[in-house]
Amino acid sequence: MVIETDVLTLGEWLFTRIPVGPIAVPRLLMWFVVMFVLFFVGMVVAFISSATRFGPIEGGRRVAVGLFEGLTDLFHTSPRRVAAMTWLAYKESIRRKVLWAFGIFILLLLFAGWFLDSSGSRPAEVYLNFVMFSTLCLVLVLAVVLSTFSLPKDISDRTIFTIVSKPVRRQEIVLGRMLGFTATGTVLLALMGAISFVFVLGGLNHDHRLRDSDLLPVTQRSDKDPILAGRTQKLTYGHNHEVKIYPGPDGKPAYGATDNSQGHFHEITVTQENGKNVYTVGPSQGLLMAREARYGKLTFRDRAGQDVPRGINVGNEWEYRSYIEGGTKAAAVWHFSDVNERDFPNGLPIELALRVFRTYKGRDIKEAILGSIVLRNPNTKRATKPLYFECREYFTDVKHIPREVYDSANQPLDLFRDIVHDGKVDVEISCAMPSQYFGMAQYDVYLRVVDHPFWLNFIKGYFGIWTRMVLVICFGVMFSTFLRGSVAMLATMAAIVGGLFMDFMQELAQGALGPMVAMKKIVTHQNEVLPLEPGMETTFLQTLDAGFLAILNITVWLLPDLGKFSFDEYVSHGFDVPLMLAPGVISHLLTMFAYLVPMFLVAHYAFRAREVAQ
C-alpha cells in the first residue's frame, strides 16, 4: 500500500512544522493562525459592506455590536433547543424519501455482482474498493441534496418565521441542521455498510471440489509430511489450489489445507461415508484481513557501501520508490525501534512488498529475483547470516525470523539478546542478482505485529467515509445560510470537486502560467513555453493572472483535501487503520473538527446577519 505522508504519532503530528513561505509553523498553531486570519478578513469585509450602507462610524459600530452579540449568543446555546432542531432536521430528511438513495444502492449492488471480477489475483481489493467507492458517491450526493436546500426552503416557505419568533438562537438552527443531517446520513451509512459487508463476504466466499481422483499418495514421506497431495478441480472463480492432506491418529486422511494462493487458503476436513473419503473444502480464509503494521525508517547504502538517504532512480517519474542495484554492496536498511519480546514472542514476522526492475529478462520474465535479508544489531553490528528469498513484483512476501538465528559462522544467536539492542534492530535487504534492481519505499517493508478483526477495520473504513460526509453536510449548510438553494448546491459541489482533485489544483496553483495569458497564447497560436511580448497588454493579463492564482492558492489552502480523509486503501489492502497514529482515526477526527469549527462560525454569523423576512 502506498502511504505518501509520514506515519507519525499523534504528538509528533500535532507539532509537525508546516512551511508557510519563509517560516515553518507547528500544525496546531497553524490552525489558530488561519482562524485569526479568517476572522480578520471577515471583519474587514463586514466593515466595508456596513460602512457603504451606514457610513464609517455607524457601520463600524454595527459591526462591533454584531460581533459582540454574536459571541454572547453563542454562550446561550441550549442543548435542549439544539436537540429539538436536530430532531426536526432528521424528521424532515427522512420524510423527503431519502431512502430512495438506499434503494439505488441495493440495485447497484445487485447488478455489480455480475460484473465484478472475483477471479483476479486480488478479489478482495476489487470488491472492497467497489462497495466503498459506490457508498461514498451515494452518501456524498445525499449529503449535498439534503444540506443545501433545507434552509433556503424554510426561508422561502416562511416556516422560518415561526422558528425565529421563538427563543431559538440562529446558531442552534444551523447546528441543529448539521447534526440532524449527520444523523440521517449516519443511519443510512450504517445500513449501506452492513449490506456491503454481507455483499463482500458473499461475493468472495467460495469453496472448491476435491475428490479422491484429484489426489495422489505422497511417496517418501516422514511423519510430518502429508499422505496425499494434489489440486482441486477448477471452479468459476478462475483458480484452484494445491492441496495437502494429513493423516489422523488412525492413519487415514483426516484434515488438510490448500496452499495460499490468490491471497487466501482453505482448510479441508475429511469424513468417511460409505467407505469413501469425502473432502469438504472450507470457506476462504485470509482474504479479508487487517494487519497492524509497524514501520521503520528507511536509509540506503550505495553500491560502494556508503550510507545515503535515497537509492537510485531508474528513470521513474514517480519518486515514491528508489532502487538498489543487485550483486553489489547496495542495500536498503530499515531501522526499527520499539521491537520487544512482548509484541513478538515468537520472533519477527517481516512482510515485504518490493518492486523489481529488470535490465534483462533472465530465463523468463516471470522468474523471481533472488534477494537476501540480514538482521543487524545497530550497536554491536552483529548480524544474522543472510536469509534468501525470491522476490516477485506485486507480491507480498512474509518472512518469519525465529528467535533462534545463526550468524555467518553458523553460531546460534538469540534474536532479542544478540540482535535487538534497546528495542532497535536494522533490517537490511539486498538484491542478489547482478544487473537487476529492487525498488522500495519506506512503507513497503514492515513488521506484522498482530492481525485485528476485519469487521472492525471495515467499520473504521466507513468512518473514513463518514468524516467526508460530515464535511460535505457542513459545507452545504454553511453555504445555504447566505446563498440560494441551487447556488449553495453548486458551491458545495465545487468544494467536493476541489477537495477530490486537490493534487491537480495544487499543481495549477503553484504553476506560473495563468488562464488569461494561456488564453491569449491559444488564441494567437503562440507556443506554451515562450513568454508573451512585453507591453501593457501583457502586463495587464499577467496582473489578472496573479489575482486568479492568488485566489486559487487561498482556495487550495482552505479547502479540505477529501482524498486524504479516506481509509479505503487500508481496508481493501488489508491493513489495520491505526487509532493513535497519524494518519489514523483520531487524527482524522481532529482534522475534521478543525474544518467544522470555522464553518460553523461562518454559518452562525452569516445567518445572524440575514433578515429572514426579506
Partner 1 sequence: MVDATSGSTSPATTKSSAGAGQGEIVIETRNLSKVYSDFWGREKVRALKSLDLDVRRGEIFGLLGPNGSGKTTTMKLLLGLLFPTSGEAFVLGKKATDVSKNERIGYLPEESYLYRFLNAEETLDFYGQLFDIPRAERKQRIKDLIEKVGLTGAKRRQLKEYSKGMTRRIGLAQALINKPELILLDEPTSGLDPIGTREMKDLILELKDQGTTVVMCSHLLADVQDVCDRIAILHRGELKELGRVDSLLKVSGITEMQVRDMTPAAEKEVKEVLLKHKANLVSIGQPTTTLEDLFLKIVREEDERPGRRVVAERK
Minimal distance, residue 168 CB to partner 1, in Å:
5
Q: Pick the closer one to partner 1 by CB: 187 or 544.
A: 187
SS3 of the chain: helix, strand, coil, percent, to 5: 50, 20, 30
**Site string (44-73) toward partner 1, x via CB under 8 A:** --------xx-------------------x
Whether the CB-CB separation of 565 and 532 falls below 8 Å is answered with no
Q: Which stretch binds partner 1 (CB under 8 A): 77-85, 342-350, 404-412, 487-495?
A: 77-85
DSSP state of 415: I
Count CB atoms within 10 A of the CB of residue 329. 13
Q: Which stretch binds partner 1 (CB under 8 A): 82-90, 206-214, 260-268, 390-398?
A: 82-90
Whether the CB-CB separation of 237 and 251 falls below 8 Å is answered with no
Q: Roughly what angle, to the nearest 10 degrees, separates helices 585-608 and 56-75?
A: 130
Q: Does 361 bind partner 1 (CB under 8 A)?
A: no
Q: Which stretch binds partner 1 (CB under 8 A): 36-44, 340-348, 362-370, 606-614?
A: 606-614
List the alpha helices (DSSP H) in 294-376.
none
Minimal distance, residue 169 CB to partner 1, in Å:
6
According to CB under 8 A, which one of 213, 236, 274, 614 is a site residue for partner 1?
614
Q: Return the C-alpha cell found at 24.
A: 515553518
List the alpha helices (DSSP H) in 165-294.
170-204
Q: Does 400 bind partner 1 (CB under 8 A)?
A: no
Minimal distance, residue 488 CB to partner 1, in Å:
17
The one-letter amino acid at 47: F
Q: Return the C-alpha cell found at 614.
A: 426579506
According to CB under 8 A, which one of 95, 363, 381, 525 is a site residue for partner 1?
95
Q: Does 75 bind partner 1 (CB under 8 A)?
A: no
According to CB under 8 A, which one of 449, 544, 589, 612 is a site residue for partner 1?
612
Q: At a CB cut-off of 8 Å and minimum separation 6, what does 513 contact?
A: 528, 545
What's the distance, CA 311 to chain centroid?
26
Q: Which stretch binds partner 1 (CB under 8 A): 74-82, 371-379, 555-563, 584-592?
A: 74-82
The one-letter amino acid at 474: C
Helix (H) or strand (E) holding 26: strand 23-26
Minimal distance, residue 175 CB to partner 1, in Å:
14
Q: Which stretch binds partner 1 (CB under 8 A): 85-93, 241-249, 288-296, 586-594?
A: 85-93
Q: Pick the closer one to partner 1 by CB: 77 or 359.
A: 77
According to CB under 8 A, which one of 10, 30, 74, 87 is a site residue for partner 1?
87
Whether the CB-CB separation of 543 and 549 falls below 8 Å is answered with no
Q: At a CB cut-off of 8 Å and minimum separation 6, what does 509 contact?
A: 549, 552, 553, 555, 556
The one-letter amino acid at 41: V
Q: How far apart are CA 376 and CA 420, in angstroms?
A: 8
Q: Does 273 bind partner 1 (CB under 8 A)?
A: no
Count of residues of this chain found to bind partner 1 when the rule CB under 8 A is applied: 31
**Site string (149-188) toward partner 1, x via CB under 8 A:** --------xxxxxxxxxxxxxx------------------
Minimal distance, residue 84 CB to partner 1, in Å:
4
Beta-ladder partners of 255: 246, 269
Q: Pick the closer one to partner 1 by CB: 85 or 132.
A: 85
Whether the CB-CB separation of 64 and 152 falls below 8 Å is answered with no
Provide the binding-site residues for partner 1, judged by CB under 8 A.
52-53, 73, 76, 80-81, 83-84, 87-88, 91-92, 95, 157-170, 611-614
